[in-house]
Structure 1
């Protein structure tokens, strides 16, 4: 391993980080590598197929599938930012990552994760309009509004990401071992020797804005949807409403549940194995489940797939 530390103006500057991951569990390293590889392969194939189907199939050119295509793009970029590094670490007894690559991975991943939080809330509003305002749905969810909502999600995520980036600590007092699979903001801050109290306050406020506010908005939205569904007298209408919203609610539960348990609870002095497992849920499990849930539970997507390969849609 090359030089990790260098002296610059009498200050110790870290140029590389050591990512422990599960390197302290050699027997589990190969198993973890296989699991991550399978997850990543399913994520690329599943989300890639969703993007192709939505792009090439005119019946899927609706607001719901426009948001789904954005979700799939987010998942592909987010996992491509983190999982390849985790795979490389599986083959190293002392995995390292440069300071610059670590910072890029950390803040790009944070930006994409925040964007997904907002996008899931937008998708909940879309489902509310579809179930509670079916006659006015096309007027409410116009193409212009959909583009504006998605653009706002990306822009707001960028602004929120810049706040911890501008306050990033630069002095680590020689500490360069991150007890994690990847460069994660909270694990990164634990290595700083400077005061990170203000950073932690900013992270807590941002976490509230990014996780709690959208999550409660989604809960209120589904509360309104539930009341509307209860007034439906036809079994077919009930079935369609639950089918429309059920898949999105499953994704929301997994994604927000794991993220909230990570960022909105008291933090220890170092990352535990529990923290690493929770990270895997929102970093790998949710992006893998997204295309499976939306495709297996959706007749429109399955129909588009059969038409794409030139076969008759099964009855």
Structure 2
């Protein structure tokens, strides 16, 4: 069998195996990508310029939007270009780089979501000491750990995937992802897959458990609040983040927590559309629609212009 690493690269199948659907899909995803860019850039700009949003929660949100921006920009532009021009070939280094950056962004987002859950837990469970506990130094440390951990996690999975020998150039996907690449392995990928499951399970499940524990504490604390208004305010603050958690873990687990031998290209594409396109696109919508401060900042940004926001920043 031919080792695919000796030929120019891979051939990405695209959004669909039906040629007629490629252009339609590309048009739809182009609008989604533009919407994702505008949404995430708006969140980053609003948080940066509006002094009212210079709090730990929005500090984490800004980094989350940046990872979403990088994630969609890693996969969609190349897929859109291939669908519109018919140029489906991607070199081996470009494929490895695409996988590395995508996993890096996804893992970093996982750690950021955990940090955001911890931040909300402290804000509700210990409101009196929250300001002295969640300092700017701690926020920077948590974000730094998220980026470094994402880098290490992605380095492992990229090396674990591309040390395999590949027999076929056609990747049944619209970007280089782990499950479809495992399917192209000439040798039995079970050892690589098992190691990936163990490392991924330990890291991701640890983040998931910490996030769940934080929200259990939040729910217990909220139900102890006697004031109905205070209870509604606490739920309103956390509901947007909880929706993000459900979208992130729900769609991602459906793709990566299954063996390669039962991988379905159609199901893989559909799952990837959710966790690599729709979830990063919906995050800005969720946070802006469920948050009065964010809606006010975005209204100020687009109606009164960035100059007003920058003046607010200078006054601070």
| TM-score scaled by length of structure 1 | 0.90
Residue in 2 that maps onto 1:259: 252
Match of 1:96 among 76, 89, 98: 89
Separation in 1 of the partners of 2:146 and 2:15? 34
> Is the 2:180–2:265 contact (alpha carbons within 8 Å) kept by the matching residues of 1?
no
Corresponding position: 1:299 with 2:292: yes
Q: What residue number does 1:49 align with? A: 42
In the alignment, is the contact (CA less than 8 A) between 1:211 and 1:260 conserved in 2?
A: no
Indicate the residue corresponding to 1:24 in structure 2.
17
Q: Please point out which of 164, 169, 173 is paired with 2:163.
A: 169
Return the match for 1:211 from 185, 198, 204: 204
Find the aligned partners of 1:305 and 1:255 in 2 and give their Cα distance. Answer: 24
Q: Could you tell me how far apart the structure 2 residues matched to 1:102 and 1:116 are?
A: 21
Which of 122, 145, 149 matches 2:142? 149
Structure 1 counterpart of 2:71: 78
Q: State the 1:154 CA deviation.
A: 0.9
Aligned match of 2:312: none
* 24-33 or 176-185, which deviates more: 24-33
Cα RMSD (Å): 2.1
Q: Post-superposition shift, 1:12?
A: 7.0
Alpha-carbon distance between aligned partners in 2 of 1:250 and 1:196, rounded to the nearest angstrom: 35
SS in structure 1 opposite 2:235?
A: helix
Match of 2:28, SS? helix
Q: 1:125 corresponds to which residue?
A: 118
**Unaligned 5+ residue runs, structure 1?**
1-5
Q: Specify which structure has the higher proportion of helix.
A: 2
Q: Which moved more, 1:205-214 or 1:113-122?
A: 205-214
- Given the alignment of the two structures, is residue 248 of structure 1 paired with residue 241 of structure 2, yes or no? yes
Preserved contact between residue 211 and residue 256 of structure 1 (Cα < 8 Å): no
Question: 2: distance between equivalents of 1:278 and 1:238?
Answer: 35
Counterpart of 2:147 in 1: which secondary structure? Answer: helix
Kindly state the Cα deviation for residue 158 of structure 1 after the two structures are TM-superposed: 1.3
Asked whether the equivalents of residues 115 and 157 of structure 1 are also in contact (C-alpha less than 8 Å), the reply is yes
Cα displacement string for residues 106-130 of structure 1 (whole angstroms, at most 9, x for unaligned residues): 1111111111111101100011011
In the other structure, the counterpart of 1:3 is none
Q: Deviations over 1:262-298 (max 9, x none)?
A: 1112333654211111111110111111111111111
CA distance in 2, matches of 1:91, 1:304: 37
Rounded to whole Å, the distance in 2 between the matches of 1:152 and 1:84 is 29
Question: When the two structures are superposed, what TM-score results if normalisation uses the length of structure 2?
Answer: 0.90
What residue in structure 1 maps to residue 274 of structure 2? 281
